[in-house]
Amino acid sequence: EAGVAQSPRYKIIEKRQSVAFWCNPISGHATLYWYQQILGQGPKLLIQFQNNGVVDDSQLPKDRFSAERLKGVDSTLKIQPAKLEDSAVYLCASSAGTESSYEQYFGPGTRLTVT
């Protein structure tokens, strides 16, 4: 089965510019996660979708970050405007989204550099 796809793999922008990341989860996976991973740290959950509804976005900086998951499949994460501290790898993961389906499958990530 195909894995979690993300694009682009790398992005360099200047501060105050906008950027968008795309994620295509594993087919049939109900739960989709976006994580921010700053160099040397563990992934931090930004937002979690169950189908096309938001389950948790408590750590999403909503003044500049937004995310959507239309039709419960693909998802986009946007930053507008970007700040220097947004430089990180943005990981997308998906899971079947049931009690017993515990495993998250991760995409390769998008490395964002804000200059």
**63 makes contact with another protein (CB under 8 A):** no
> What string marks each residue from 66 to 95 as x (binds another protein by CB under 8 A) or -?
-----------------------x-x-x-x
Phi (first) and psi of residue 98, to 5 degrees? -120, 170
Q: How far, in Å, CA of 101 to CA of 110, rounded?
A: 25
State in angstroms the smallest separation of the CB of 107 from another protein: 8
**106 makes contact with another protein (CB under 8 A):** yes
State in angstroms the smallest separation of the CB of 56 from another protein: 6
> What string marks each residue from 13 to 32 as x (binds another protein by CB under 8 A) or -?
------------------x-
**What is the per-residue burial (b if ≥16 Cβ within 10 Å, else e) of 34-58?**
bbbeeeeeebebbbbbeeeeeeebe
Q: Exactly one of 56, 62, 68, 83 binds another protein (CB under 8 A); which one?
A: 56
Close Cβ partners of 76 (under 8 Å, ≥ 6 residues apart) = 20, 21, 22, 23, 67, 68
Q: Exactly one of 33, 34, 49, 90 binds another protein (CB under 8 A); which one?
A: 33
